[in-house]
Structure 1
Amino acid sequence: MSSITVFIIDANESTQHALSRLMRAAGFRVFCTGSVNELLRLERPASNAVILADVDTTRLFAETLPRCLHDKSQALPVIYLTDYDTEYMRKEARRMGAVGYFRKPIDDQALLDSITFAVRQSKVRNAG
């Protein structure tokens, strides 16, 4: 599935670099931003894309990011990444429709599998 595009939102440039290197090695297209506002300014594909969002960087958490994307008619699957995992954060992410939630350091293969699964599920939802 080399046509997948991954948007990474993380204020930490070394994390952006590491994640983008992993995504490119898997054959994905990658765009990195340091904030949600930067992401909202980017031209995003309507399908075959997913957002990896650092919970601490977004400062909007699960509730606001999907709403911002929906308001722009560009609802892409969101996978949250965090340094500080709590039960509350996991529940909020699920409640707001996150397709994945990972604590750093991240299992590379699990993340890649989650991205591929999220894009496939998104295609199924959009087709039906």
Structure 2
Amino acid sequence: MGKMVLTVDDSATMRQMVAFILKSAGYQVMEAADGENGLRASKAQQFDLVLTDQNMPGMDGLALIKALRALPQYETTPILMLTTETGETMKAQGRAAGATGWLVKPFDPQKLLDVVQKVVG
């Protein structure tokens, strides 16, 4: 059974693209449309990796990361930001919140797989 990945993004197209790439590589993928749904899914099921967008209505990516890091089962789980944000300030905020890494959209599918394999195997 492949590793479980949660992808959180308010763009259905982006979620579907990430899911397709990861499923093709043997990962199991669950999708969430925003931070609240992502947090709810994460409490109901343990994921090996969380990929989250930053800019979403309601709970944004930084708030989701902070909420996940507050849960004992997600203290060490890799969490990657997948976002259009490229500023150093935002990256620093991501690191401070507990993000493991950062991928900028649009992304290269192979780079996404390389990073995912690096952090979860």
TM-score normalised according to structure 1 size:
0.79
The Cα of 1:57 is off from its aligned counterpart by 1.8
1:36 Cα deviation after fit: 1.5
The equivalent residue for 2:96 is 95
Query: Unaligned stretches of 5+ in structure 1?
Result: 121-128
* 1:20–1:61 CA distance, 2 compared to 1 (3 A): closer
* Larger mean Cα displacement after TM superposition, 18-27 or 109-118: 109-118
* Distance 1:92-1:106 versus aligned 2 partners, 3 A rule: same
CA RMSD after TM alignment:
1.9
Residue equivalent to 2:113? 112
- Residue matched to 1:60: 60
Match of 1:21 in 2: 20
| Residue 72 (structure 2) pairs with residue 80 (structure 1) | no
Q: Quick one: distance in 1 between partners of 2:3 and 2:26?
A: 8
TM-score by length of 2: 0.83
- The answer to whether residue 21 in structure 2 is matched with residue 8 in structure 1 is no
Identity of aligned residues (%): 25
CA contact (8 A) 2:86 2:104 kept: yes
* Distance across 1 between alignment mates of 2:101 and 2:113: 11
1:37 counterpart letter in structure 2: E
Indicate the residue corresponding to 1:50 in structure 2.
Answer: 49
Distance 1:95 1:70 in 2: 11
Q: Describe the superposition over 1:60-111 as per-residue Cα deviations: whole angstroms up to 9, x where unpaired.
A: 343x323311333231211001123111111222233311101111121221
The one-letter code of the counterpart of 2:101 is: G
Query: How far did residue 117 of structure 1 move?
Result: 1.9
Post-superposition, which runs of at least 4 consecutive aligned residues in structure 1 deviate over 3 A?
58-61
